[in-house]
Amino acid sequence: MTHFDNQYKITRHILRQLNVSVTATTIRRTFQELNQSSLESIATALHRWHVETIAIRVESDQLVSLPFPAIAQLSAGDEQSYFIDLLSVSDNEVIYFDSDQGVIREDYKEFSAKWTGIALLVAADKQSGEADYKTNYSREVAANFRKIFQIFFLIFLLSLGWLLTSNPAIFIIATFYLGGSILSWLLIREEYNSGHSLLQSLCQLTPKTNCKRVLRSPAASLGGLISMAEIGFIYFTGNYLCLLLAAFAGSTPSLIAILFVESLLCMPYTIFSIYYQAKVIKQWCPLCVGVQSLIWLLTITMGLIVSKPLAFSYTDFYLLASCLSIVGFVNIIIKPYLNSYQQIDQLKRDLLSIRQNKTIFQAVLSEQSLLGHIDEPADICLGNPQSPVTIIVLSNPFCKPCALAHQYLSELLFRFPDRVRIIMRFVADIDNPSDERVKVVRHMYALANYQPEQLVSALDSWFGSRNFESWANLYPIDSQSSQWDELIRHTQAWSEQNNFIYTPAIILDGKLLPTPYRMSDLVRYSLYSPLTGELSESASKY
């Protein structure tokens, strides 16, 4: 069990204990973004879903007084540690959830000997949970159904092979061809940088295994025109299809002779491939070795059952050529789409590497002009008023990207409570009676001025639901005063003065966050030095 798996499973389990709705996909992606294994990363993730946390260190005799559930840190020896979900504690027994073993009952003294004394207390309320949970859950279910469909489709192909052949030896040969087709397809996906976790695990089993190194070697293609993975896919899939059709027509004996000769012709390449990996590049591709092994197994199996002397049929030659041609034609059709996918994926990787570079970010930000500023009489402010960094956010109350940006703003406040002041401003057309945004912004101004202690919770709640009636019932206040209209006009004037054409617009110490950077980049990659405590001359009060 890796540290990533440990914190992922513990976080998912405690969210279930708290009845907080967050999809497994979101939990996994969040920890991948945080890219660290620590109690702080768990607290940061939980805060993103509006679960309050507090880290404490207490003596073992105070364990029984903790509120449950809670996350505790246990020592694994050799300065290693892992997390568990504390469920209940009595004078004699501790019950907890372990990410490897499930629910465990353990003697109090034995548990105390492993416990580091560190725990994370958690608390959830009605606002806790993932924004757009229903939409994300539907996508996750659809993705899971696709995986299930792939499994059933594989079972269907195997069953079809058995029903059509009814001969155990022919069925084994068909299964080998199907397995080769799957391995070849996985190799094609690896060629196009699929980034699939299963492929990465298979291709990096040991320091000596590296699929990409093998697939990018000169011997991995035929004159640079077609890759050996594509040839393998055409070979295995075409032969599998041909064998099924021949079995249906009752002409498998003569076809097996042709397939046997075909596999014999492939044998020299398998020997070359093994030699090339072992002696030339000195790296192994497990998927490639699997393909070579299947060719050997096919040759041996067909050699044992093929009729002697070999008898060939022109009809089977034509059938095999047709099947191979059909699969080859399909490969020609889909190859441009795979190439486009690879190019787009590479562009995304290049863009990501640029967005993660602090030096580039500081250089691009320094080129931005200082924006004109209009002081509002009653700005909606969050964080430390005396902080070295001021972030102004212009949002549309009903804007989905604005809701996502607010989620990361909350995380910034959580991670840097003393170093950031956030000013929230909202676009609305006060002269348009039908503009639904106006009543929302009025309500926010009223809360900020008369119930500031509820402001953070109210903003989190709004961007989580964006339903005015239910939100106003949760945070009731008289918001009909005309003074709020004047504040909305101030924001309108400021927005028009600076020609903002999209929301959310993020302003860092007076400079507009440049394209293609987003609020999430500031949180994920800690790009802005003054925010993280690395003060520079570029940081100025705004």
Q: How far apart are CA 254 and CA 311, in angstroms?
A: 6
211-218 long-range Cβ contacts below 8 angstroms, 24+ apart: 211/187, 211/285, 211/286, 211/287, 211/288, 213/281, 213/283, 213/285, 214/277, 214/281, 214/283, 214/284, 214/285, 214/288, 215/187, 215/190, 215/191, 215/285, 215/288, 217/276, 217/280, 217/281
Rounded CA gap, 181 and 241, in Å? 11
- What is the distance between the alpha carbons of residues 367 and 512, in angstroms, rounded to a whole number? 10
Cα separations (Å) of 379 from 170, 371, 444, 502? 77, 17, 11, 20
Query: What is the edge-to-edge ordering of all strands in the sheet holding 420-426?
Result: 380-383, 420-426, 389-395, 505-508, 511-512
Given a contact cutoff of 8 angstroms between Cβ atoms, the answer to whether 187 and 291 are in contact is: yes
Sign of the torsion formed by the C-alpha atoms of 219, 220, 224 and 228: positive
Closest CA to 82 of 122, 24, 39: 39
Strand positions, DSSP E, 111-218: 115-123
For 155, how many CA atoms within 13 A lie in the half-sphere containing its CB? 6
pTM exceeding the 0.75 threshold for the entire prediction: no
Q: d(Cα 185, Cα 17) in Å, to the nearest integer? A: 41
Q: Where are the domains of the chain?
A: 3-124, 145-340, 370-523
Distances, alpha carbon 405 to alpha carbons 43, 231, 243, 396, 518, in Å = 19, 47, 56, 11, 8
Q: Which residue has the tokens 């034609």?
A: 329
E strand segments, 332-432: 380-383, 389-395, 420-426
> Could you give the count of Cα atoms lying within 13 Å of 140 in the half-sphere of its Cβ?
14
Q: State the pLDDT at residue 537.
A: 37
What pLDDT sits at residue 536?
A: 38
- Separation CA 47–CA 412 (nearest Å): 10
Give me the pLDDT at residue 538, please: 35
Residues 6+ apart with CB under 8 A from 510: 370, 371, 373, 390, 540, 542
- The string over 6-39, giving b where at least 16 C-beta atoms fall within 10 Å of a residue's C-beta and e elsewhere, is bbbbbbbbbbeebebebbeebbbebbeebeebeb
Question: Which overall architecture, per CATH, does domain 145-340 show?
Answer: Up-down Bundle (1.20)
Q: How far apart are the C-alpha atoms of 206 and 228, rounded to whole Å? A: 23
Q: What is the pLDDT of residue 194?
A: 60
Task: Return the amino acid letter for 16.
Answer: R
The hierarchical CATH code for the domain 3-124 is 3.90.70.10
β-pair type (389-395, 505-508):
antiparallel
- Cβ atoms of residues 257 and 310 within 8 Å: yes
The string of DSSP codes covering 79-103 is TEEEEEEEEEE-SSEEEEEETTTEE
Residue 316's nearest CA partner among 265, 248, 268 is 248
* Angstrom distance (rounded) from CA 328 to CA 235: 9
- Euclidean distance between CA atoms 319 and 324, whole angstroms: 9
Largest interatomic CA distance in the chain: 100
Domain 370-523 adopts which CATH fold? Glutaredoxin (3.40.30)
Strand 115-123 relative to strand 70-77, pairing:
antiparallel
What type of residue sits at position 121? L
pLDDT at 542: 35
Does an H or E element contain 402, and which? helix 400-415
HSE of 214 in the Cβ direction (CA atoms, 13 Å)?
A: 27
Q: What is the pLDDT along the chain (542 residues), one digit of tens a residue?
A: 578 889 999 999 999 999 999 999 999 888 887 777 788 889 988 988 889 899 999 888 888 888 999 999 998 877 688 999 999 988 789 999 998 889 999 998 899 889 999 999 999 887 788 877 888 889 888 888 887 887 777 777 777 766 666 678 888 888 899 999 999 988 988 887 665 666 777 777 788 888 888 888 888 888 878 999 999 999 999 999 998 888 877 767 778 889 999 999 999 999 999 999 999 999 999 999 999 999 999 999 999 888 777 777 788 889 899 999 999 999 889 888 877 877 777 777 777 777 778 888 888 888 888 886 655 656 788 888 888 888 999 999 998 889 888 888 888 888 788 888 899 999 998 888 888 999 999 999 999 889 988 888 899 889 888 889 989 998 999 888 888 888 888 888 888 888 888 889 999 888 899 888 888 888 777 778 777 665 333 333 33
CB of 482 within 8 A of CB of 442? Answer: no
Tell me which residue has tokens 């504690």.
89
Q: What is the DSSP letter of 21?
A: -
Contacts (Cβ under 8 Å, ≥6 apart) of 392: 422, 423, 425, 506, 507, 542
